[in-house]
Structure 1
């Protein structure tokens, strides 16, 4: 791959997953780690990503140095959010993971809604606390900087005490064989705990993430109750998911 192609690929991976890891980029692009480091350095100097030890982060959640409107496929995520909030009823207990789609859902919550939201997503918490009628419960003590979410034993323990009505998962990848997958051990463990603590699980994913997978499994497809994308539920790419028993919205 030429440098321009490599860097475009890196930025696209960041758009999809909010972070990239050096080792995975080396494998995906078939280049050395030194090459990846140089590409990340150049992109960082150009203000297109945040370089960190072992990889890089998207600009999407950095509200200190950059405008928080730098969100990939934001209009699609707003469409997903609008569909998602129709599932939330008054007096529900709702668990939410991290991710920019979850953040868009938080912004779309109707002001008259009365419910309890439980999360460790720091960007989402910043929105939840401005809502006039929802209760907010924070889990965890350790902050995963890449995912902007609290993780660790304290978060898992608190979630295990919950009997939630709904769990909304921001999704890195989903396919028919592997279900939901991710690339961060801590986030995977957190999502597993959220699914186990909830009566219904809702997967939020832009269609570009369908039929793709990451290294770590969050859950099998049969554990997902709802799949929400920006597409019409009858779209041909969604039919296999509906045929597998998932309710597609």
Structure 2
């Protein structure tokens, strides 16, 4: 994929989460100049266009958008895109990867090369809708009860698809990262799936952006040192013990 096509793909992904993106913000997120984006959008085949300083979906292509994605948190988009790019770079040919629920996880899925052959297991509708467009991705959606608060499926029985699949990597999201209180999230129905995914994988990877640091929420997942790798956008506090954990910034 060319750099231009890659940038257009990322802009298309962002426009599934919001109606418009200011040109300045898009340049910051993609780490290029505003002029570079203007050149990208000048092509007749571009699916997005520049209108009054904002990037929007091209009117002639709006009918092609068949996604049904619930409104998500749109804070720290640049940071999530950065973390997503780092995480996506860790996926290699023939990997079997679990994708957790959470607002950062779709940013990983959106930046995986479309030519890559891999297997994906996910419980989030948002991530599923992104990966189903990837021609070489064997896609497995974990079933269960649909939760509107996080657009995910939670198991209603003691066993589910994760019991029968050993993954090579598992990307686990979090709403809170604390040395003393551990890794936490907002909803109890997410915990069982996160723990099971961690137990069934070769490499458990915690992904989050800096706003989650020193936050604690009601649903406890595990201690910080339960992970093999941490992917984030800023250095962790010196008080955090990351001995034997690979921290990728």
Shorter-chain TM-score category?
Answer: 0.5 to 0.7
2:126 aligned residue: 123
- Cα RMSD after superposing both structures: 2.1
Given that 1:238 and 1:248 are in contact with CA atoms closer than 8 Å, whether structure 2 keeps it comes out as: no
Which of the pair is proportionally richer in helix? 1
Unaligned regions of 5+ residues in structure 1, if any? 1-60
* Structure 2 SS opposite 1:108: coil
**1:106-162 Cα shifts (integer Å, max 9, x gaps):** 111111211000011001000000112111001113111111111123585221211
Unaligned regions of 5+ residues in structure 2, if any? 1-66
TM-score with structure 1 length normalisation? Answer: 0.68
TM-score with structure 2 length normalisation? Answer: 0.68
- CA–CA distance in structure 2, aligned partners of residues 132 and 208 of structure 1: 34
Tell me how many residue pairs correspond in the alignment. Answer: 182
Matched, 1:209 2:215: no
1:145 to 148, 159, 166: 148
- CA–CA distance in structure 2, aligned partners of residues 225 and 74 of structure 1: 25
State how 1:44-193 maps to structure 2 within 5 Å.
Answer: 63=69, 71-154=74-157, 156-193=159-196
With over 3 angstroms needed to count, the CA separation of the structure-2 counterparts of 1:133 and 1:229, relative to structure 1, is same
Structure 1 ranges of 4+ moved more than 4 A:
none
**1:159-192 Cα shifts (integer Å, max 9, x gaps):** 1211111110121111112321112111111111
Given that 1:122 and 1:148 are in contact with CA atoms closer than 8 Å, whether structure 2 keeps it comes out as: yes
More deviation in 124-133 or 210-219?
210-219
Matched, 1:247 2:242: no
Question: How big is the shift at 1:238?
Answer: 4.5
* Structure 2 SS opposite 1:94: strand
